[in-house]
Amino acid sequence: MKHTLNIIVFSTIIALLFIINMFISVATGLFSYKNGLRYTNDAVEARNYAIGSVYSTISEPNILKYQFLEVNSAFQLYIGKNTVEDPQPNYTVVRLKNNYLTFVYPEYNIDFYADDLISFNDELENKEIPMLYIQVPIKNDKFDNILPYGIEDYSNYNADKLLSQLKAGEVKTIDLRDVLHKNNSNISNEYFRTDHHWLPETAFKSYSYICELLNNDYGFNINKEYYQTESFRFSTVEDYVLGHIGNRVGCYYSGGTEDISIISPHFPTYYSFSRLVDEKGNYNPQSKTGAYENTILVDKNINQPNVYSRIGYHTYIGGDYGELRIENDTVKENKRILLIRDSFGAPFVSFLSTAVKNLDVVDLRYFGEDRTISEYVEQTKPDMVMFFMSPHMYEDSYTQALDFYSK
């Protein structure tokens, strides 16, 4: 009884503070709207300025930030909403029919992206460097639509359109949506419940498939031990991850934390691991050497007590860095791959590093504006170039990042 009373009192205090915060936010909005009209006669512009001020006020870090988040999370769950709106539409959260959370995206014009990829492929052919575009799945299954009624997502439509144009331009492609589907995978269940990223186990399945492809079609001689499931340890950190989506809507609405698998090889490894460009696009070199567990895996999040501050997905590689160079001294075959990836590539890169001697990894969003991928190829001279992209990368805000060929 006393415990129940304490919960009621605490909840009441949080609710009152939440109401006070809302009043402050509304007052901020009205004040901002009045000031906006003072400097412009455009009521729409003043309204947008006010909305931005309110959002900034709500988002400001404070001691009760997460309590406010969880109050709203519980309320959204209580009223049974299938969507939680966000001021940035692409971050509006949607609950799938299996209770997993996702983002949805509109139709994009991907012609410029396809044109650049086709032109780059032609350039690489002249250098006798093979190129492969790997299409990463989206959480919303192409073969089993489990979006709630009335919600549209064009991610798979955009991916289909891009792949069609690339094939017409004679670019080699692999669609991992088809690969996983043929292996009886339910795509949505291959992802974190509270994040838009796929599980490390799913990335490992894709890695094994790509290694077979490299051996069969691209002249590689990767030791099968390096990509067989039994050659790796699969351990679990329980109740550790509250993903990127869960961080936006709170534990109640997202269903709480979830497990993450830590996958590492049984066989020996020794790396020279260099991060040259960080996740902000700055040249900020850092290097380390050692085994997979001490270089590829990053344990900075494991002991982080605040679940909202953990980025469990970054246990692999450490983050979305602009440029990485990874050399595995235990691999005998002297091949070099340039892998151009988005955030889905983090665990994939980790596993591929066990099978390839030299791996150059570029994230175009943070690569920098003072150089081109063409120049980078001239500098590094890879044996193969691979693109590893999800449909998230067709987003309009990534337009300049994707315009890699004409920088």
Q: pLDDT at position 10, please?
A: 46
Cα gap 247→267, rounded to integer Å:
36
Q: Would you say 295 and 348 are in contact if contact means Cβ atoms under 8 Å apart?
A: no
- Choice among 14-18, 158-162, 316-320, 363-367 with the minimum mean pLDDT: 14-18
Cα gap 278→66, rounded to integer Å:
28
**Of all residues in the chain, what percent carry a pLDDT higher than 90?**
55
Q: pLDDT at position 185, please?
A: 73
Taking residues 316-340, report their average pLDDT: 94
| Torsions phi, psi for 366 (to 5 deg) | -125, 15
Q: Above 50 in pLDDT, residue 2?
A: no
Q: pTM for the whole thing?
A: 0.83
112 - beta bridge partners?
none
Number of H helices, E strands in the chain: 12, 13
Q: What angle do CA 127, 278, 86 make, to 5 degrees?
A: 105
Q: Would you say 407 and 369 are in contact if contact means Cβ atoms under 8 Å apart?
A: yes
Q: Above 80 in pLDDT, residue 219?
A: yes
Question: Which tokens go with 299?
Answer: 């344990």
Give 213's pLDDT tier (boundaries 50, 70, 90). Answer: very high
Q: What angle do CA 338, 199, 298 make, to 5 degrees?
A: 65
| Torsions phi, psi for 74 (to 5 deg) | -65, -40
Cα gap 263→320, rounded to integer Å:
19
Q: pLDDT at position 191, please?
A: 94
Q: Above 90 in pLDDT, residue 18?
A: no
Q: pLDDT at position 205, please?
A: 96
- 167-211 tens-digit pLDDT: 999 999 999 999 999 987 788 889 999 999 999 999 999 999 999
| Torsions phi, psi for 217 (to 5 deg) | -115, -15
Question: Which tokens go with 370?
Answer: 């003072």
- Closest alpha carbon to 249 in 353, 102, 115: 102
Q: pLDDT at position 67, please?
A: 73
What would the 3-class secondary structure string for 323-334 be?
Answer: EEEEEECCCCCC
Please state the length of the chain: 407
Give 103's pLDDT tier (boundaries 50, 70, 90). Answer: very high
> How does the average pLDDT of the chain come out, rounded?
84
- 239-276 tens-digit pLDDT: 888 899 998 898 889 999 999 999 999 999 999 999 99
